[in-house]
Structure 1
């Protein structure tokens, strides 16, 4: 593969194209300044304005959210896995029907495999614009987002209506639901009762990995972070490994599925049969299946990256939090 061909599979941080109207809370005060990015796969955006950087199926989706201080992403749920790692900023993740069942604060490099089956949201509690990178299970990202009822109600007060097909319509722009299309119904009390309310102590130990803990475990070989035998045991349809300078191998290797490299710190030189490229934090590289390649730090200093690859496991829910 030529360098030009491979460059089309690299999404540079500085070239990310945001969508500011990706979801139903795009006009809701407190959530109206967030930017959403769809990097690999179709994602779960509800807006036709969302730009998809790489549409090649990988068995999972890669996205990102960028938010200024005090900006919040509203309570929602997914039918498949949702994993975040903090690229920059300081973030509070919260969950539960009203967002008060539990919470955890994440710093740069920390990763959170959010349990399926619970409402979750997050906000930038730092002092600067922050970015979190996301991995969503499955090529279709689970068929969309399930919103807490109050989010749909608040959005309607600010002109946004979501159709039962998962498409947004802005009444302030004169848009209306097409004939024969109903609005997205809010969940009933019976449906809401199926969403558990786990406390922080029930979630954090098996679903959050701290950056420096991963660094310590990756001192000789890449650390398995998410996987059946990982630090955060799960089988969400993909595996996540953490690689540092100490555990980066100079040996050329290949995978039978497309894989993704996502630097957290430092600059990484990726060599393959046909060329090389350098990645920086925030860049995302899709490595084709069966391509011999290797990734190594290209400069001195702290260096780390996440490696993501699909597995044969079903991308649906693999763990549901238990209340209490």
Structure 2
């Protein structure tokens, strides 16, 4: 693979193209300043304006959310895994029918694997623009987003209607539901009984790992963060690995499916048969299946990197909170 061919599979942080109308809460005060990014895969955006950087199927989706201080993402749920790591800023993650069942604060480098089947949201509580990177299970990311009823009701007051076809219509721009398309129904009281109110111990104990702890565990060999044998033991249809300068290796290797490299700290040199490229924090690199490659820090100083690889496990509910 030539350097020019590989560069097409690298999404640079500075080249990310945001969508400000990706979801139903795009006009709702408190959520109207957020930016959503679809980096790899189709994503779960409800807007035709969402730009997809790399459409090649990987068995999972990679996205990101960028928000100014005090901006939040409204309560929603997914049918497959949703994993975040904090690239920039300080973030509060909260969950439950009304968002008050529990919360946790994450700092840069921390990671959270949110259980499927619960309503969750997140808010930038830092003092500057923040960015969180997301991994969603499955090529179709579970078929979209399930919103808490109050989110859909609030959106109507600000001109956005979600159709049952999964698409958004902005009445402020004169859009109406097409003939034959009904509004997305809100979840009934009976359906809401299937969404548990998990305790902080359930969510934090199960799915949160701190950056410094991962660094300590990746001093000799790369650490499996999420996976069947990971420090978060789950099978969401993908594995998340973590390596540092101390656990990086110049030895070339390959995978039988595409893999993704996402630097967290420092600058990394991606080396493959045919060339090399430098990856910076916030960049996302998709390495083709069967390509011999490795990644090593290219400068002195702290260096860490997340590695994502699909598994043969189905991308679906993996933990019910029981």
Q: TM-score range by the shorter chain?
A: over 0.9
Whether contact under 8 Å (1:116, 1:321) holds in the other structure is no
Q: Match of 1:146?
A: 146
Q: Match of 1:97?
A: 97
Whether contact under 8 Å (1:117, 1:321) holds in the other structure is no
Q: Determine if the alignment matches structure 1 residue 40 to structure 2 residue 40.
A: yes
Per-residue CA distance 1:19-75 (angstroms, 9 max, x = gap):
000000000000000000000000000000000000000000000000000000000
Tell me the secondary structure at the aligned position of residue 56 of structure 1: coil
Q: Match of 2:266?
A: 266
Query: CA separation in 2, counterparts of 1:309 and 1:229?
Result: 14
Q: Match of 1:185?
A: 185
Tell me the secondary structure at the aligned position of residue 24 of structure 2: coil
> Residues 189-200 of structure 1 correspond to what in structure 2 (within 5 A)?
189-200=189-200
> Residues 38-77 of structure 1 correspond to what in structure 2 (within 5 A)?
38-77=38-77
Query: CA separation in 1, counterparts of 2:49 and 2:9?
Result: 21
What's the offset of the Cα at 1:137? Answer: 0.1
CA RMSD in angstroms, aligned pairs only: 0.4
Query: CA separation in 1, counterparts of 2:262 and 2:320?
Result: 27
Query: CA separation in 2, counterparts of 1:149 and 1:205?
Result: 28
The worse-fitting range, judged by mean Cα deviation, of 10-19 and 197-206 is: 197-206
Whether contact under 8 Å (1:118, 1:321) holds in the other structure is no
Query: CA separation in 1, counterparts of 2:139 and 2:201?
Result: 31
Query: CA separation in 1, counterparts of 2:135 and 2:63?
Result: 6
Query: CA separation in 1, counterparts of 2:179 and 2:192?
Result: 29
Q: Match of 2:289?
A: 289
Q: Determine if the alignment matches structure 1 residue 110 to structure 2 residue 110.
A: yes
What's the offset of the Cα at 1:321? Answer: 1.8
Per-residue CA distance 1:244-296 (angstroms, 9 max, x = gap):
00000110000000000000000000100000000000000000000000100
Tell me the secondary structure at the aligned position of residue 154 of structure 2: helix
Q: Determine if the alignment matches structure 1 residue 160 to structure 2 residue 153.
A: no
Whether contact under 8 Å (1:9, 1:287) holds in the other structure is yes
Query: CA separation in 2, counterparts of 1:169 and 1:205?
Result: 39
Query: CA separation in 1, counterparts of 2:236 and 2:77?
Result: 15
Tell me the secondary structure at the aligned position of residue 317 of structure 2: coil
Which stretches in structure 2 are left out of the alignment for 5+ residues? none
Q: Report the TM-score when normalising by structure 1.
A: 0.99
Q: Match of 2:298?
A: 298
Tell me the secondary structure at the aligned position of residue 260 of structure 1: strand
> Residues 124-143 of structure 1 correspond to what in structure 2 (within 5 A)?
124-143=124-143
What's the offset of the Cα at 1:205? Answer: 1.3
Query: CA separation in 2, counterparts of 1:200 and 1:206?
Result: 9
Q: Report the TM-score when normalising by structure 2.
A: 1.00
Tell me the secondary structure at the aligned position of residue 216 of structure 2: helix
Which stretches in structure 1 are left out of the alignment for 5+ residues? none
Query: CA separation in 1, counterparts of 2:35 and 2:202?
Result: 31
Tell me the secondary structure at the aligned position of residue 36 of structure 2: strand
Per-residue CA distance 1:277-317 (angstroms, 9 max, x = gap):
00000000000000000100000000000000000000011
Tell me the secondary structure at the aligned position of residue 152 of structure 1: helix
> Residues 226-265 of structure 1 correspond to what in structure 2 (within 5 A)?
226-265=226-265
Tell me the secondary structure at the aligned position of residue 164 of structure 1: coil
